[in-house]
Each structure stands twice: as C-alpha cells, then as structure tokens.
Chains A and B, each alone.
Chain A
Amino acid sequence: MHPAASRHYADHGWLQSAQTFSFHGNYDPLRIQFGALRVLNDDTVNGGKGFGRHPHDNMEIISIPLEGTLEHQDSIGNVAVIRRGEIQVMSAGTGVYHTEFNKDPDEPVTFLQIWLYPKKLNVAPRYDQMEYASGDRHNRFQQILSPDPDDEGVWINQDAWFHLAELDEGFETTYELKTAGDGVYVFVIEGNVTVDGQLLSSRDGYGIWPDSEVSVKALGKSSLLVIEVPDQW
C-alpha cells in the first residue's frame, strides 16, 4: 500500500513530481519497483515548460495525460501532441533522445509517467500513441495497453496490461488476471475505492499478487488505472 502522501515530492519550480518509486535523486530501498513496474510519477508541468532533450535506453516509457496537453519530439522523427484521453508509449531500446513540453503556454499539464522494465534488451526504438474512447471505461475496465500489437490499445515490449476504469458510486467489479502469477498495481486517479478490502483514496497506490482476480468497489465516483505486470521476465 502506497498512500498518496507517502510518495516522494520533488519541486523543481516548473515541475511538481510525486514519485511512488525511487527516481532521479530520490532513493528509498523499500520503494524500488513492483515487478516490472519501476517508475510511477504523477507529474505537473507549468505552462510552456518541459523536459529538454535527454536520452533513454532499454525502458518502456508510458505517458498518460490527465489534464492539459503534452508535446513530444524524439530522435526517431516523431513530433506529436497528446492530451487527456490518449496514451503515449516509447520503447527506448537501443537509445532515443526526446523532449516533452507542455504545449499550452499558460495552463499546466498533469500526466502519469510510467516506466516498465523491457522484456527484451536492445530492441529498435519505437514510438506510438493512441486515443481511447471515453465511454468505454464507464463501469468497466478499458484496456489501453498490452504486449500484443493486435490487441486493444497500444503495445509495449513487456508482458504488461494497463486498464482504465471510471466507476459509479457503489459499483462493484472484478479485474481478472491476464496471466497467472502476475502482480496488479491499482492507482486511484480520483475518488475512493476498496481493492480486495483495502481502502484507497485519490492518488493512493496498492500492489497485490492475487491468485486470479482482484475485487474493486467504488465508494464514490472514482477513476482508476490498473497495471498488470510480471514478477519475472
């Protein structure tokens, strides 16, 4: 269980970052990873500001905007803007440089920056983004990421699945594991829920290793991100 307030807060002036796991200059031996999930940063970037040109390799990097617009440029020729309702993935593989800037000069952008360890090392770098239909996650889990290029959502170089859900107050459901033995990390974007009986509020995270499914109940109107990851790969 990772309560929102237990995350590391980094204030860089232009960037406010709430970090669930050890990142950048923050090291906590008890907060290294959850299976293949290595980074879960809840970032807010001021208008017109952003991350300048910097490199990455061998990491699956996923961005999910919650508010505002983010402009991406990279060394493999991609220039793109993503906004709420879209997801961006970058397989860094053998190496890529990129920038991420708030497209709006005035309004902040808030997005989840998520890094997963890759299944295979040194793959060719790849970028993709996708818009997902907002109505498809009302009282159900909407798949937005998988390991399969032919499955719903974007795909990455890891046996992981991401689902979003927007649940009405009192709605109960279960998330069924895609692969036995995987872990499930539930991040509450907004609202209050119970996950296998554990109470979670906005921006809380909870990682569990279920037998086959996870029960979720919304205590109020709630929005969730469910991340399924392997322990070994």
Chain B
Amino acid sequence: MSQTKILAIAYHAEILETIIRLINQNESWHGISAGSLEEAEEQLRLNSIDLVLLGVGVDEQAGAKINALCQFIDPRIVCLRHFGGGSGLLYSEIRHALAGG
C-alpha cells in the first residue's frame, strides 16, 4: 500500500516528535520531521512529499517560502498550517487536506 508522505515542520522538538508519532499511528501515513527551514527544504527535495504541515515556530514568511518551494517542486503538494500541536486537530486537518478541503 502506498503511504502518504507527510512532512511536519516545527521548531519545538518535543511537539515535533509528538506530531510524527501521531502521524505514524496511521498505517497509511508516513511522517517525516524537519526542525528547521533548511531541513524542510532538504526533505522536500529528497523525498516525494504529498503534504506539508507548517507547525509551531514557522512564521508567515517562512510558511510562504515553503509553500512556494512546494509549488516549484510539485504543485500537487498540499501545504497547510497545523494548529494545536497534538492529537486534537491533526487527524481531521490531514483528512480534510487530503480530501481537497
């Protein structure tokens, strides 16, 4: 089964680890972490990412830069902001984005 590759970017190490753990609880999703903008750019170029979550610490300017890079690499990459830093909204945010919401 093909997994949806989800790149989560957050500048808070513990929260990033939590997000990746939660993503990987879903067997059809695969979480990849990036703790900095540079790391995120590298992961976007190395992996065939389907969806990007802009997490805590990623400001509007950095988010726009990542979004532009996603559009450049593959316009099908969905880039969205993750709110809440944990299990509350993560699942429905990803489901909603994958459904085109």
Q: Which residues of A contact B (CB under 8 A)?
A: 22-27, 29, 32, 38-39, 54-59, 92, 94-95, 97, 115, 117-118, 121-122
Number of A-B contacts (CB under 8 A): 76
- Choose among B18, B57, B96 the residue that contacts A27 (Cβ–Cβ < 8 A): B96
When C-beta atoms are compared, the residue in chain A nearest to B84 turns out to be A59
30 contacts between A and B (CB under 8 A): A22-B89, A23-B88, A23-B89, A24-B88, A24-B91, A25-B91, A27-B96, A29-B96, A32-B96, A54-B87, A55-B12, A55-B14, A55-B15, A55-B18, A56-B84, A56-B86, A57-B10, A57-B55, A58-B84, A59-B83, A92-B85, A94-B57, A95-B12, A95-B15, A115-B88, A115-B89, A118-B83, A121-B60, A122-B56, A122-B57
Bound: A25/B64 CA distance, A: 29
A58 with B85: CB separation less than 8 A:
yes
B87 with A24: CB separation less than 8 A:
yes
Bound: A32/B83 CA distance, A: 13
Min CB gap B84→A, angstroms: 5
Also in contact, A121 and B59, with CB within 8 A (given A54-B87, A56-B85, A95-B85): yes
Bound: A26/B87 CA distance, A: 11
- Choose among B84, B87, B99 the residue that contacts A29 (Cβ–Cβ < 8 A): B99
Contacts of A117 in B (CB 8 A): 83
- Choose among A26, A55, A94 the residue that contacts B86 (Cβ–Cβ < 8 A): A55
B2 at the interface (CB under 8 A from A): no
Interface size of B in residues (CB-CB distance below 8 Å): 23
Q: Which residues of B contact A (CB under 8 A)?
A: 10, 12, 14-15, 18, 55-57, 59-60, 83-89, 91-92, 95-96, 99, 101
B87 with A94: CB separation less than 8 A:
no
Chain A contact surface mostly: loop
When C-beta atoms are compared, the residue in chain B nearest to A39 turns out to be B88
Contacts of B88 in A (CB 8 A): 23-24, 39, 56, 59, 115
When C-beta atoms are compared, the residue in chain B nearest to A96 turns out to be B85
Also in contact, A94 and B96, with CB within 8 A (given A24-B91, A25-B91, A58-B85): no
A57 with B12: CB separation less than 8 A:
yes
B91 with A59: CB separation less than 8 A:
no
A38 with B83: CB separation less than 8 A:
yes
Bound: A51/B95 CA distance, A: 24
Also in contact, A92 and B84, with CB within 8 A (given A55-B14, A55-B18): yes
Contacts of A32 in B (CB 8 A): 92, 96, 101
Bound: A26/B92 CA distance, A: 7
A94 with B92: CB separation less than 8 A:
no
- 4 tightest Cβ-Cβ pairs between the two chains A and B: A57-B85, A57-B56, A22-B92, A27-B92
